[in-house]
Amino acid sequence: MAACVSCSTALDPRWKYCVDCGTPVAAVGPVTIPGAIRPEGERRPPVTRVITTPVLIVIVLAITGSIAAFAVAAQWLG
């Protein structure tokens, strides 16, 4: 049974891509070339997050900052 070079998932011969990480099965064969396989620690899960935590922090700071500026301006105007 062939295994994905990226995540070591067992691959079905009918699959065109690894169901786990999306690596093309065409690049996967029974012959493994030393040095062609990435180190284990380098692989990353294919996680896609629309809003990351730093972006969320910036958005919150922008909103609170604009609210504070509006409050100060309202006080100045009476």
User: Binding residues for Zn ion, per CB under 5 A?
Assistant: 4, 6-7, 9, 18, 20-21, 23
Q: Which residue has the tokens 């919150």?
A: 60
- As measured in angstroms, the least distance from the Cβ of 14 to Zn ion is 15
Q: Which is nearer to Zn ion, 24 or 65 (CB)?
A: 24
Q: C-beta of 73: minimal distance to Zn ion in Å?
A: 55
- Residue 10 CB, shortest distance to Zn ion, in Å, is 10
